C-alpha cells in the first residue's frame, strides 16, 4: 500500500546558520526567513530518519547526506521549524520515494558481488584441477554438469513463457534425454569417433517415444527435444575430444621444469594446453566484456541481451586475444603468433554467441536465470553457456586447421 505520510524527524541538530533556501510554508502559513547560507550545510552533523507510515507498516530509512543536500529546500525548512513536514502522496516524487532504499540496494549489490566473486574463484580453481587431471575425472565432472544443464534446459522449455506458445515434451522424455546427454561424454571418452552412431541412435529412439505417446504428438515437442540432445549433450562432447588429444607438446620450455611427482612432461599434451588456453580465454573475454561494458558501454549490441554493448564486446575480444597470446608465449603452443591470435578470436566468438543463444532461450522463457544452483551466478547453463559451442570450434581448429597440431 502506498505511504500516507512522509515525516522528516529531527533527532540531533547542531548549531546552524541558514537562510531562506526554501519556498515552503510553515503550519502558520508564513514563509520562514533565515539568514543567507555562506557555505553548504554540514549534513554529517545531522541524523535524520525518513518515516513511511501506512495503515499496516511503518518503515524508517536513513537518508544519505547527498540526498539531504539535494533536497535541502524541503528538509531545512522542516527541521528549522522543529516540526515534521507532512507531504501528501500526490506530492511525492519517484526520487523521494526511492531515497530510503538507496542504502539497502547498495548493500545488497555489494553482498551479491562479493558472493559472485567468492563462488567464481572456487569454481575456477576446481575446474582448473579437473582439467589438469584429465581422462575420467574430467569426463565425469563434465557429465555431471551436462546432466544438470540438460535438466535446466528442459525446465526452461516447460516454462510459462515458452510453453504458452508450444507444446513441451512429456516429462519422462525430458528426463530420459537428460540421462542420455550425461552419458554422451562418457561414450566419447571410451568410443571416440563412434559417438555419432550413439547420438543418432538416441535421437531415433527419443523420436519414436514422442510419436508413440498418448494424445496428439506435436512438431514443437520433437524440435525442442532434438535441440536439447544437440545443445546439452552432443556439443559438450567436443571438450572431451579436445582434452584427449594425446600429441605431446614437446616444444614447450614450460613443461621441462614440471615436477615428475605431478606427471612430468607426459601430461602436457596439446589437448591439455589447448583446453587450458581456451578456458582461460573465455574467462578473460567475459571479464573484460563486463568491465569494459560497465565503464564505456553506450551502444547496445543486440536486443536479445540489452545489457551487452559493442564497447564491452570489443573489450572482451581484446582481452581474449591478449590472454591467448600470453599463454601461448608461456607454454610455447601454438608455435606461431598468428595461430594464437586466430585461436583467441575463435574462442571469443564461440563464447559470445553461446551466451547470446542462452539469453534468447531465457528471454522467451521469461526468466532471468536458468536456475539457482550456484549462489550469485544462477544455474549451470548461466555459467557454461559460453563454453557450449566453443568446444566444437576449438577442437575443429586444432584438429583440422593447425599444421601438426600447432607443435
> What pLDDT score was predicted for residue 13?
39
Q: From CA 403, how far away is CA 109, in angstroms rounded?
A: 48
Long-range contacts for 38-42 (Cβ within 8 Å, ≥24 apart)? Answer: 40/69, 41/16, 41/69, 41/72, 41/76, 42/14
Helix (H, G, I), strand (E, B) or coil at 77: helix
**Which among 235, 275, 233, 268 is positioned nearest to 138, based on CA atoms?**
275
Distance CA 406, CA 80 (A): 77
Q: What are the pLDDT digits (tens) for 67-94?
A: 555 555 555 555 445 444 444 444 445 5
Task: Check if the beta carbon of residue 323 is closer than 8 Å to that of residue 359.
Answer: no
Identify the burial level of 189 via C-beta atoms within 10 angstroms of its C-beta, where 0-12 means exposed, 13-18 middle and 19 or more buried. buried
pLDDT at res. 366: 86
Point out the residues of the chain with pLDDT beneath 50: 1-48, 50-58, 60-61, 79-80, 82-92, 96-97, 99-100
Q: What is the reported pLDDT for 177?
A: 93
Q: What is the pLDDT of residue 165?
A: 75
pLDDT of 63 reads 52
Q: Are 331 and 343 in contact (CB under 8 A)?
A: no
Helix (H), strand (E) at residue 52:
strand 47-53
pTM reported for the whole predicted model? 0.71
Beta bridge partners of 61: 50
How far is 370 from 148, CA to CA, in rounded Å?
Answer: 11
Tens digits of per-residue pLDDT, 298-328?
999 998 888 899 999 999 999 999 999 999 9
- What are the distances in angstroms from CA 27 to CA 35, 77, 363? 20, 11, 53
Amino acid at each position: 500500500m502506498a505511504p500516507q505520510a512522509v515525516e522528516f524527524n529531527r533527532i540531533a541538530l547542531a548549531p546552524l546558520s541558514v537562510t531562506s533556501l526554501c519556498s515552503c510554508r510553515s503550519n502558520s502559513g508564513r514563509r520562514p526567513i533565515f539568514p543567507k547560507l555562506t557555505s553548504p550545510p554540514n549534513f554529517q552533523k545531522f541524523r535524520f530518519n525518513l518515516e513511511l507510515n501506512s495503515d499496516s507498516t511503518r518503515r524508517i530509512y536513513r537518508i544519505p547526506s547527498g540526498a539531504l543536500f539535494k533536497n535541502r529546500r524541503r528538509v531545512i525548512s522542516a527541521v528549522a521549524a522543529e516540526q515534521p513536514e507532512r507531504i501528501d502522496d500526490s506530492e511525492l516524487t519517484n526520487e523521494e520515494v526511492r531515497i530510503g532504499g538507496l542504502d539497502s540496494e547498495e548493500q545488497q549489490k555489494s553482498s551479491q558481488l562479493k558472493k559472485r566473486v567468492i563462488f567464481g574463484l572456487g569454481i575456477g580453481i576446481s575446474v582448473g584441477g579437473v582439467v589438469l587431471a584429465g581422462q575420467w575425472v574430467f569426463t565425469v565432472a563434465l557429465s555431471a554438469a551436462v546432466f544438470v544443464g540438460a535438466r535446466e534446459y528442459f525446465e526452461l522449455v516447460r516454462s510459462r513463457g515458452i510453453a504458452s506458445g508450444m507444446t513441451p515434451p512429456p516429462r519422462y522424455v525430458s528426463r530420459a534425454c537428460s540421462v542420455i546427454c550425461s552419458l554422451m561424454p562418457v561414450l566419447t571418452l571410451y568410443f571416440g569417433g563412434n559417438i555419432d552412431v550413439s547420438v543418432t541412435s538416441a535421437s531415433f529412439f527419443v523420436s519414436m517415444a514422442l510419436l508413440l505417446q498418448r494424445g496428439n504428438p506435436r512438431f514443437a515437442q520433437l524440435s525442442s527435444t532434438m535441440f536439447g540432445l544437440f545443445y546439452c549433450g552432443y556439443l559438450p562432447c567436443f571438450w572431451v575430444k579436445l582434452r584427449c588429444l594425446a600429441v605431446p607438446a614437446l616444444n614447450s620450455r614450460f613443461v621441462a621444469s614440471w615436477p615428475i611427482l605431478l606427471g612430468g612432461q607426459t601430461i602436457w599434451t596439446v589437448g591439455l594446453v589447448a583446453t587450458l588456453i581456451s578456458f582461460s580465454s573465455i574467462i578473460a573475454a567475459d571479464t573484460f566484456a563486463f568491465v569494459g561494458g560497465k565503464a564505456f558501454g553506450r551502444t547496445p549490441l543486440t536486443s536479445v541481451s540489452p545489457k551487452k554493448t559493442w564497447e564491452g564486446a570489443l573489450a572482451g575480444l581484446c582481452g581474449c586475444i591478449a590472454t591467448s597470446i600470453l599463454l601461448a608465449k608461456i607454454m610455447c603452443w601454438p608455435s606461431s603468433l598468428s595461430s594464437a591470435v586466430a585461436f583467441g578470436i575463435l574462442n571469443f566468438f564461440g563464447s559470445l554467441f553461446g551466451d547470446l543463444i542462452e539469453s534468447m532461450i531465457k528471454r522467451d522463457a521469461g526468466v532471468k536465470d536458468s536456475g539457482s544452483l550456484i549462489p550469485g551466478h544462477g544455474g549451470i547453463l548461466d555459467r557454461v553457456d559460453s563454453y557450449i559451442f566453443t568446444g566444437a570450434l576449438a577442437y575443429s581448429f586444432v584438429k583440422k586447421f593447425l599444421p601438426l597440431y600447432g607443435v
